Amino acid sequence: MINKLIKSFSFSALLFLSSVVQSSASFIVEDIQVKGLQRISAGTVFNYLPVNIGENFSMTKVGPSIRALFKTGFFQDIRMEREGSTLVVVVQERPSIAKIIFAGNNDISTEDLQKALESIGLTEGKVFNRLILDKVEQELRRQYFSQGKYGLKIDTEVSRLTRNRVGIHINISEGKVAKIKQINVVGNQVFDKETLIDQFQLSTSNWLSFYSKDDQYSKQKLSADLESLRSYYLDRGYINFAIESTQVAITPDKKGIYITVNVNEGEVFTLEKVKLTGNLIVDPEELIKLVQVGPGEIFSRKNATETSKAISDRLGDEGYAFANVNMVPEIDNDNKTVAMTFFVDPGKRVYVRQINMSGNTKTRDEVLRREMRQMESALASTAKIERSKTRLERLGYFEQVNVETPPVVGAADQIDVNYSVVEKASGNLLAGIGFSQTQGIVFNANVSQDNVFGTGKRVNLAFNNSDVTTQYSFGYFDPYFTVDGISLGYDVGYRARDAEEANISNYSTDVINSGFNFGIPLNEYDRLRFNLEFKHTKLNTVADSSDEIQEFIDKQGNKFISFSASVGWTHDTLNRALFPSEGGQQRLSALITVPGSDLEYFKIAYKHQHYFPLSKDFTFRLLGEVAYGDGYGDTDDLPFFEHYFAGGVRSVRGFNDNTLGPRDSRGRSFGGDSKIVGKAELFFPVPFVENSRSMRLGAFFDAGTVSDGFEIDNLRYSVGLSGEWLSPFGALAVSFAIPLNSDDDDEQQSFQFSFGSGF
């Protein structure tokens, strides 16, 4: 190609030389003409041509003029001629790219490949340069090699089209993904090979590789694994640990990869002394408590880093948002000790100029701002900024919440805090759908709006016409009835329930209720809630009703008016309202009917759950729930229609709804005055699904029972898999469970499905 350009340039120069020699050595350019243009405008040529009308043009300007036009990349041939006092530039344009067609690309979409080629200058509509095709092949190999496709073959064809255009056909044979056959660590003496390889993301093929793809080699993954290996040694005192070399070998058929890592472990170092220095700002005694390393301990880079972060965060709470805490280790190789100094540079105290909200197209600005714990014109606090973000996430109105803290231009001591949100539908149509031998198909519905007109207030309208329940209710809740966060709500409703259809004893109830509640925030994480309720209950029996029900009616009657008061305490540190991954929640509630009510009883319940983040994608949850109720005054026991029940997708999966626990004289589930439920569940993302915050899978162990007086011997256990999806129409939950110790009287239901139940 270069030779061709040289020949073209030489030939053009000779033509122009002969033309000039025939007339004179130079001439005054009175006009400039461009011939051969098809797509490119003459103005573009004039812009790059270093010759203007009125100038004296000679042979010395021929070379620079042709080179200037060639540099544009628009032309494949250029020559210059003279016609009297007119300079004529004759060009031949490079063809343009009309179409780029990919074939054989299955793992990488055509759109992604087009973006990759666009980054190197090859895209439809641009000038075609054959030299770029070499870059195309290099870029495509880079894309596929990053996915472990080393058997890649690429065939590129260029077809000439009309109007000086070309079509590019890129035929790709992707080949198979190369699998890691073996990983070796050489030079390790202290830790065995298996322990060290456990620190790697990469692995040889195993039964989970189809999901994790950990057997597919990636240079980026290997770099991360080598850093994990280095951290493993540095966290155990091996300061001089070094990775001396890494070899990655591929088999001749390009289907297998062997990785060898050569290490030099060095020796263990201990801490000789630890010192805090610099401008400490905060009381040194308070900062010393944050230091997680001490003299005599084995050096740990992890603990030292966490110390730096803890001190930096503490200074951030005082307004020093850009504080630096640098670790300065003094290594004594002779004595195998380290003197660690934490040098504190708080920088300037920073204030928040403005707090800006974006993305809330429906939710009012004040709904977001009342969740702010960081105030404008106040000292910037790292903890308060993050807590404000968490409170926005916990509202449940947004799919995503992000925060940025850019410095204010021209002000060294000010920042802006910018929160951006992505709203989601806050209206829900909740439904429950299932099938069992006793109920058949069950359907119920609940229409709610958690963010009415963007005010943050909740309105709930429920209607239910299933085989089990006929219900009509209306509820209203204002979480900020006062600016201090005192909430107020009320609800009214009617419910007719056929207990037999819910796998319970054969009776039905008609209940009319109304009540109101209010909540008081005690602090950032604790809240009290009070509720007063009026309830009118009517019991209906049939000839097949159990002896226990008949005895209750004979003694208490079948119509009851009760006034109840309840109080609840909640301690909530969850990071999100839906699909939390960190934090916990405790709920303690107590209800008692007012003395003088037709039925006098009380109920107490406690529920505690905690989420433990194991990694970015894996979360472990523990949940425990216990409840108890009894009668007082003229009521001997907890009324049977207030009994607790267990079994089903919301408690012990693998057992039919409400079927665990005592039976009545007819052999039907009767519930009990006490309940115990426990869950252990590991959540992980759905394979091949990017948005893991709206969908997840789980492996669980459930335990629970209902009894009279906490009979732990009757606990039932189950294990299984679960799936949850926050669909646009409501929350969907499915589970497949295997009971571990079912009794002959237990009703098993391995597959269970719920649409609209809360998580």
According to the model, what pLDDT value does residue 11 have?
Answer: 44
| pLDDT single digits (tens) 192-239 | 999 999 999 898 888 877 777 788 888 888 999 999 999 999 999 999
pLDDT surpassing 70 at residue 426: no
pLDDT at 9: 46
- For the segment 438-448, the average pLDDT, to the nearest whole number, is 51
Calculate ∠ Cα 274-280-282, nearest 5°. Answer: 115
pLDDT of residue 693: 67
Mean pLDDT across 321-347: 91
The token pair that represents 96 in the structure block = 């343009």
Mean pLDDT, residues 576-602: 92
What pLDDT score was predicted for residue 84? Answer: 85
Q: What is the pLDDT of residue 165?
A: 84
More confident residue, 472 or 754: 472
Per-residue model confidence (pLDDT) at position 756: 54
Q: Indicate the angle between helix axes 301-317 and 382-394, nearest 10 degrees.
A: 90
Rounded-to-integer distance, Cα 17 and Cα 298, Å: 83
- Per-residue pLDDT tens over the stretch 274-292: 999 998 888 888 888 899 8
Instruction: Say how many C-beta atoms besides its own lie within 10 A of residue 244's C-beta.
Output: 10
Average pLDDT for the chain: 85
- At 237, which amino acid appears? G
Confidence label for 721 from pLDDT (cuts 50, 70 and 90): very high
**Percentage above 70 pLDDT, the chain:** 91
Residue 99 confidence (pLDDT): 86
Mean pLDDT of 381-403: 90
Backbone angles phi, psi at 195, to 5 degrees: -65, -40
Q: Give residue 174's pLDDT.
A: 80
- Please give the pLDDT value at position 255: 84
- pLDDT on residue 72: 81
Q: Is 31 helix (H, G, I), strand (E, B) or coil?
A: strand
| Residue 562 pLDDT | 94
Tens digits of residue pLDDT in 45-102: 888 888 888 888 888 888 888 888 888 878 888 888 888 888 889 988 888 888 888 8
pLDDT tens digits for 136-187? 778 888 878 877 788 888 888 888 888 788 888 888 888 778 889 999 999 9
What's residue 729's pLDDT?
60
Q: Which residue has the higher pLDDT, 461 or 674?
A: 674
pLDDT at position 105 is: 83
Cα separation, 541 vs 559, in Å, equals 12
- Is pLDDT at 679 greater than 90 in this prediction? yes
- pLDDT band with cut points at 50, 70 and 90 for residue 489: very high
pTM: 0.68
The H or E element containing residue 16 is helix 2-23
Count the residues in the chain: 759
CB 430 within 8 A of CB 346: no
- The pLDDT, as a whole number, for residue 14 is 44
Looking at residues 618-625, what average pLDDT do you find? Answer: 95
Q: What is the mean pLDDT of residues 685-699?
A: 78
Between 284 and 511, the more confident residue is: 511
pLDDT above 60 (res 604): yes
The pair of three-digit structure tokens given for residue 54, joined into one six-digit string: 């009125």
pLDDT score, position 542: 87
8-state DSSP, 733: E
Give residue 139's pLDDT.
80
pLDDT number for residue 119: 76
Domains in the chain (CATH in brackets) are 2-93 (3.10.20.310), 96-173 (3.10.20.310), 179-264 (3.10.20.310), 270-345 (3.10.20.310), 351-423 (3.10.20.310), 427-755 (2.40.160.50)
Which of the four pLDDT bands, split at 50, 70 and 90, describes residue 592?
very high
Give the residue-averaged pLDDT of 656-663. 89
Residue pair 241/263 in contact (Cβ under 8 Å)? The answer is: yes
Q: What is the DSSP string of 389-411?
A: HHHHHHTS-EEEEEEE-PBPTT-
Whole-number Å distance between alpha carbons of 682 and 697: 8
pLDDT at 434 over 50: no
List the structure tokens of 200: 């790697």
Q: Residue 12: helix, strand or coil by DSSP?
A: helix
How would residue 466 be classed by pLDDT, with cut points 50, 70 and 90?
Answer: low
Residue type at 727 in one-letter notation: S
